[in-house]
Structure 1
């Protein structure tokens, strides 16, 4: 398996902040996992053909690549791992598959860290009399908000709710506008995704707008087939609404209707340093502390590497959402 080429955007470019997420979501939706005889399987391209492999083997291939990379960097044999597990992968099924995959390549998993819990715990020493914290993550793969409660007596942290959004809001918007469904119109969605990315590049080059070419679609009754015009304001508003809805749904999941319940926000991911994102969070949480004293893009892995080196005998650190980059494009 080889990692695909990711979109060539600047990490500080709000125009492209959901580009890779759109590609990953498309791959995962079109290359679906199925259950048969007690095991999960998926198709992967191999030598120009589709080959069926178990999901355990797919995870094992990913872990083996991480193992080889770490052995090349460190110059030593790697037999143990510490896992950085995002909320989107933190369920019983994924944990079981992960453990089986590690066993298959002879790697012992020393500990699995829940990413939002770990991110909040790094800041616990700074937090005085704070009980409700929102961990806001905006990276290249997904958008995720998690509401956590810190118990005053012992500073124990509990995740009250977590909401993950997948995909690109611009692609989602045009998919709905054109009456397309990913499962039924996979080829059309591939072309539409490419068109959305082309228009983003047009806007990033400084031009005021760009047209999404939909001429590849057959004419359908009741569906407007004129090339939609996209300008920077439209794209920015779609992205910001995606962020606001993600946070709002996280709070509602915890039974909270007001943003005021959040006392501090911990920032995680490469895009949270973007000025537009930060201004939006400041407007949603006026007067609340945005915790970014540490580099939001790297501090989780940095602290996990430190833990791996000092506590777990130089185990390698594996971020499980990096497997999204390996997901087959069928």
Structure 2
């Protein structure tokens, strides 16, 4: 069985952790068991108790990191067999839930998608216009996928934009949700975790003043007061940004699929359109809220037996973007 030294293990973990995670919480941790198998663990201290009560998003986030690890190993010619352990709901050590096991062995060929891990970006701002060439390439790529539906054109984007704003406002009216969200937002460069996790000002496309105001309003009764004055919708609206998108991509998977397996597919999905030089912004409320998910499913014909996992608005990747990630030593758990 292949053995990894600590330096290599940490490098692999950092590459795996380039994957997306809910609110950039980066819950995946990596360890070795006594037999030399590589473990992917969910750090339960990073669970969003309000926004993700069932832990499904945490499992999906661990799945994206798992796929990142498989790709990182393959880039070095190392093969691995994967065991999805999420359904076992097993806490293998205090505070950590087992997501998957990897048994290293054999050879593997590098995935062509892995080259786009560093080019995969999240962009909350408005998108610049898309060329006809990129539109055609995106349409061609979507046509080859069996778990992606494209919503494009003014009528479809208007439907998504309106539903997203309505659904987001409903979610933001929950004070507990707002408090949890703000606890992960890095709204000042002085925040100790500004450059490591959570969405910061750059990711949220805010300047310092906007960040300070957002923190004051969301983490206080001011939002409820503004909402009663019918200002809440304007505060959360992203309609203009949605309408600027090249398309909104609906990612769907089988109902009974493990969130870890779904997460692996989700990462491949995101890397798939990243190779077309497109960035994305998740509009998760459209999948998380049952009424919105049903409306999206009916409007865009999500296949029977599949559930909507997420909706991403996508458009040309802006220049000068950066990722913010935890340092490699924090990702590997040592006995």
- TM-score band by shorter chain is under 0.3
Q: TM-score, normalised by structure 2?
A: 0.22
Rg (Cα) greater in structure: 1
